[in-house]
Amino acid sequence: MDVNSAVWTVPARAREFGFFVDGQWAEAGDRPMSERKSPAHGVAVTRTVRCTKADIDHAVRVARTAFEDRRWSGLPGGERASVLLKAAAGIRARVEELALLESLESGKPIGQAIGEIEGGANIFEYAAGAARALHGDAFNNLGDNMLGLVTREPIGVVGLITPWNFPFFILSERVPFILAAGCTIVSKPSEVTSATTLLLAEILSDAGLPAGVFNVVTGSGSEIGQALAEHADVDMISFTGSTAVGRSVLLASAGNFKKVGLELGGKNPQVVFADANLDEAADGVVFGICFNAGQCCVGGSRLVVEKSIAAEFEALVAAKMARVRIGDPLDPNTQMGAIVTAAQNATILGYIEAGKREGARLVCGGEAYPSDAGQFVRPTVFADVTREMSIASEEIFGPVLTISTFETFDEAMAIANDTIYGLAASIWTCNLDKATDAFRRIRAGRVWVNTTINNGPELPLGGFKQSGTGREAGIYGVEEYTEVKATHIALGRREPWVS
Ligand code: TXE
C-alpha cells in the first residue's frame, strides 16, 4: 500500500489485548497488564497481559496435544500451503492496522513498517510453496532385499522467542516455515512489541489454522521466556535477541536437550575498496547504519575503508548522514524514527560517550536528537577507531558508525573478521575478482556485494561464530524444524538368524 494513502495518527486510547491460546483469545483475568508507550510520542498505545509460568505450561500442553493428534502435521503439505496462503492474504488485508501498531510500539517509520508487514506476507507466500516442496530421500541401491528411506518429520512443539526491532518481520521469517514443517508453536514476543504477534494469531486462526497450532503468551523474558526455554515438553527453541540471553537460553535447553536455533548480535563490517562506486557505497553505508535507527542485527556498524579514499569517503558519508530525515515515525517522510526504549537509548548514548572518552574522532552526530516527546539519537560517526575501543567491538544497536582504514586486501579481511560475531558483511568494489575473494574469506552468515540489508525468503539467514546457530528461511528454514528419520525396509524372505 502507499504510505500517503492514509493519515497516520496516535489513537486516542491504548488498545487492549488478551493472549491467544487454543484457537481463542484468553482474558487477562487477575493477571497484571503492561502498558506500552510509543517511544516517539510518550503516549500509551497498547496494553498486554503479563502472563505467568502457569500460562506457559498450559500453552505448551495445548501445543503438545495439537501436535500429537496430528491435526496439522497429518495434513498434506498442499493443505498446509493453502492455510499459509490464506494467512498471507489476511495479513495483506490488515496491513494498515498492523503497520500502525508496529510503528507505534517500536518507533519505526510508518513507511518502513508497511514494507515489513507486506514483506511478511510475501514470506508466508514463499513458505506455502516450501510446505509442498519439503521431501525426503530414497536409497534404492541397497540390493533387491532392502529399501532405505529418509523421511523428514516435524520436530514437534517449538518455543519461539522474538525481539522488538522487527517484531512482525522476524516473526514472519520463522512462523510460516515452522508451520510448513508441520510443527506447533508457543510464541513469546518481546514485552514491548507484542501487538502484531497477537494479531497474527487471529489472522492464522481466520485462515483456517487448527486451534492450538499457534499460541501466543505475552509477558516478561526473564520469567516466561525463561520458562519456555526450560520447558521439558518443548522440542525446540528458536530465539532471536541478545547474545547474553541467547547464552542463557542455550543453558536452559540442557534440561531436555531440546534443539536450539539462535540469531544473536552482530558487529557487521562494511568493507569499501577504493575502486567502488563511492557515491553508491556511501549511500549504502548510511542506509545500513540508519535503517531502523541502527537497531538492526545485520546493520553495518563498522566501516572498513581503503586508506587512499578514506578522507573523501568520510566526507561523503557525513554529508549524506546530515540529510537523513529523523522525526515522527507517523510522518510518511520520516526515514529514521525513535529508539525503542529509554534503556536502549541510554545504552547508545553511553557508547557515544565512551567513544569520545576513548579518543575516537567524532565526525558527526554524537548526541540525542531534540524532541518534545520520546527518544531519538542523531546518526553518529566516529573515525580513527582502534580495535581496543569498546565502540569498535561491542554491539551498540543504535545509529553509531565506526571507521577504520586498511591499506591491503589482507588487512581489510583481518579487520572485517576481527569480531566475535559473524552475522553479516557488505563489500563494495567494482572488481568481481576482489568481491569474490572477499565474500569467500569473510566469516559471516550473510554477505552483500555492492548492496546491504537485502533479503528475501529464498535465501537462508543466520550467523557464524557468536552470532548464533541454525538457519532461518529458504528451504533450509523448513528443514531446520524437522527431524530426519532413516527407515530400512527389508523385502522378501528373511535369512534366519536362529538355525
Ligand atoms: O534483548 P533481549 P533486549 C541485542 C541488542 C540490544 C540488546 C538488548 O544489542 O541492545 O540485545 O536488547 C526475551 N529467557 N538485540 O534486552 O533481552 C525478551 O522478552 C528467555 C539483538 O531487548 O535478548 C525478548 O522477547 N527469553 C537482536 C527477547 O528475549 C528472554 C534483537 C529478546 O530480548 C529472557 C534485539 C530469558 N532469560 C536485541 N530474557 C537481534 N539479534 O536482532 C529476555 N528474553
The model's pLDDT over 130-151, given as tens digits with 9 standing for 90+, comes to 999 999 999 999 999 999 999 9
- Tell me the CA–centroid distance for residue 468 and ligand 1, in Å: 13
Total Cβ atoms within 10 A of residue 139: 13
pLDDT value of position 413: 98
Q: What is the b/e burial string over 27-60, where b = at least 16 CB atoms within 10 angstroms of the residue's CB?
A: ebeebeeeebbbbbbeebbbbbbbbbbebbebbb
The residue from 102, 290, 297, 314 that is catalytic is 297
**For residues 25-46, average pLDDT:** 98
Spatial separation of the C-alpha atoms in residues 431 and 449, rounded to whole Å: 11
Spatial separation of the C-alpha atoms in residues 267 and 269, rounded to whole Å: 7
- Tell me the CA–centroid distance for residue 172 and ligand 1, in Å: 18
The model's pLDDT over 3-22, given as tens digits with 9 standing for 90+, comes to 887 889 999 999 999 999 99
Note whether 260 and 239 are within 8 A (CB): yes
CA angle 119, 173, 485 (to 5 degrees): 145
Spatial separation of the C-alpha atoms in residues 239 and 250, rounded to whole Å: 9
pLDDT value of position 4: 83
Taking CA atoms only, the protein residue closest to ligand 1 atom 39 is: 221
Does 430 qualify as catalytic in the annotation? no
**For residues 314-341, average pLDDT:** 98
> How does the average pLDDT of the chain come out, rounded?
97
Give the neighbor-by-neighbor strand order of the sheet with 19-21.
24-26, 19-21, 214-216, 184-188, 157-161, 236-240, 259-263, 468-469
**For residues 182-211, average pLDDT:** 98
**pTM passes above 0.75:** yes
User: Does 341 score more than 90 pLDDT?
Assistant: yes
Does 297 qualify as catalytic in the annotation? yes
User: Does 2 score more than 90 pLDDT?
Assistant: no
The model's pLDDT over 428-464, given as tens digits with 9 standing for 90+, comes to 999 999 999 999 999 999 999 999 999 899 999 999 9
pLDDT value of position 319: 98
pLDDT value of position 241: 97
Is the beta carbon of 238 within 6 A of some atom in ligand 1? no
Which of 164, 237, 238, 245 for a ligand 1 pocket mutation test, highest count of atoms within 8 Å of Cβ?
A: 245
Kindly tell me the sign of the dihedral angle through the C-alpha atoms of 90, 171, 162, 450: negative
Lowest-confidence segment of 106-110, 479-483, 493-497 by average pLDDT: 493-497
pLDDT value of position 92: 98
Banded pLDDT at 371 (limits 50, 70, 90): very high
